[in-house]
């Protein structure tokens, strides 16, 4: 597994160990050991602002690394992103929608998505916005909001708060990757999300409610590049193929994430 120490990697490692599998962390750029049965490629540059600052490094991390990691793997699941569809995709978005990425991060994930599906044995999981306990990336919405509120600071909202995302709890995503490793069809892409678009303001207000806080978020305004629009994924395909559906509500997931940060 590449990216084993990340948010999704930790959740997936826990599930694999619980069911009795051996997990081999794969260092960045290393070749896949010959005894490995399934590769989960999760390592990537994962934040939109960082991608804008370093687009070349982002393509190295998200495209070249994907090819080096997956080429020759007997079977693999590649963690793609809902951002490959771009901001103009219909909501909820099906897998047959055209890839229309906006910005360096989304473009790098779309390129890797296309490459991965050319390799034998690779199943692609197009993941919604993940959140959950242990995410240290405070530039992202949920961990940034929780960190601010726990510190007694006013949480900030980039844009006007109306941008909406499909928010998926990390444990649900890990279960989806296991299901796709066992039963997904190589060469196919599967959406992994909830099917519901939740606005940034709704997420921030939910965290404040869970915290019992009367802080009022600061609205920064504008439309940050790559972060506007509404996104949600149609998950009928994965439900039909492997029987996966998400089980964690946003309120429950945010509560678990809040409690784990205490």
Mean pLDDT of all residues belonging to the chain: 95
Residues 68, 69, 71, 72, CA torsion sign: positive
> What crossing angle do the helices spanning 200-211 and 250-260 adopt, rounded to 10°?
50
Mean pLDDT of 211-231: 87
Going by C-beta distance under 8 Å and a sequence separation of 6 or more, which residues neighbour residue 209?
none
How high is the pLDDT of residue 225? 66
What is the side-by-side strand order in the sheet with 189-192?
39-41, 76-81, 122-127, 189-192
For the cut 70, the answer to whether the pLDDT of residue 1 exceeds it is yes
| Domains within the chain, CATH numbers bracketed | 7-260 (3.40.50.720)
Here the tokens at position 156 are: 């900030």
pLDDT band at 148 (very low <50, low <70, confident <90, very high): very high
Q: Give the separation between CA 149 and CA 143, rounded to whole angstroms.
A: 10
Mean pLDDT of 135-144: 93
Mean pLDDT of 111-122: 96
pLDDT band at 31 (very low <50, low <70, confident <90, very high): confident
How do 76-81 and 39-41 pair as beta strands?
parallel
Mean pLDDT of 241-255: 98
Lowest-confidence region among 40-49, 136-145, 186-195, 223-232: 223-232
Does 87 or 183 have the greater pLDDT score?
A: 183
For the cut 80, the answer to whether the pLDDT of residue 224 exceeds it is no
* 92 bridge partner residues: none
How high is the pLDDT of residue 218? 96
> Are 202 and 160 spatial neighbours (Cβ–Cβ below 8 Å)?
no
pLDDT band at 85 (very low <50, low <70, confident <90, very high): very high
Range 192-220 burial, b when 16+ CB lie within 10 A, else e: bbbbbbbbbbbbbbbbbebbeeeeebeee
**Inter-CA distances, 238 with 55, 130, 233, Å:** 31, 17, 11
Mean pLDDT of 236-247: 98
Mean pLDDT of 221-229: 75
Mean pLDDT of 54-77: 94
How high is the pLDDT of residue 19? 95
Whether residue 92 has a cis bond before it, omega within 30° of 0: yes
pTM: 0.95
pLDDT band at 96 (very low <50, low <70, confident <90, very high): very high
């Amino acid at each position: 597994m590449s990216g084993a120490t990340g948010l999704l990697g930790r959740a997936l490692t826990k599930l694999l160990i619980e069911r009795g599998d051996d997990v081999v962390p794969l260092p960045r750029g290393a070749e896949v050991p010959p005894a490995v049965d399934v590769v989960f490629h999760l390592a990537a540059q994962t934040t939109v602002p960082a991608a804008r600052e370093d687009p070349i490094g982002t393509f190295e991390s998200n495209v070249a690394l994907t090819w080096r990691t997956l080429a020759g793997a007997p079977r693999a699941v590649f963690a793609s992103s809902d951002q490959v569809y771009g901001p103009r995709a219909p909501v909820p978005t099906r897998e047959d929608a055209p890839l229309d990425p906006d910005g360096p991060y989304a473009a790098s994930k779309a390129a890797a998505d296309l490459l991965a599906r050319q390799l034998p044995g690779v199943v692609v999981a197009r993941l919604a916005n993940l959140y959950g306990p242990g995410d240290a990336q405070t530039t992202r919405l949920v961990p940034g909001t929780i960190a601010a509120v726990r510190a007694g600071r006013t949480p900030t909202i980039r844009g006007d708060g109306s941008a909406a995302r499909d928010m998926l709890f990390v444990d649900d995503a890990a279960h989806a990757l296991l299901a796709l490793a066992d039963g997904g069809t190589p060469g196919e892409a599967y959406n992994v999300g909830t099917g519901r678009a939740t606005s940034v303001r709704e997420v921030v207000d939910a965290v404040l409610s869970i915290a019992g806080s009367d802080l009022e978020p600061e609205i920064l305004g504008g439309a940050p590049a790559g972060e506007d629009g509404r996104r949600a994924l149609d998950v009928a395909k994965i439900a039909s193929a492997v029987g996966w559906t998400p089980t964690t509500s946003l309120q429950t997931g945010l509560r678990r994430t809040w409690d784990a940060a205490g």
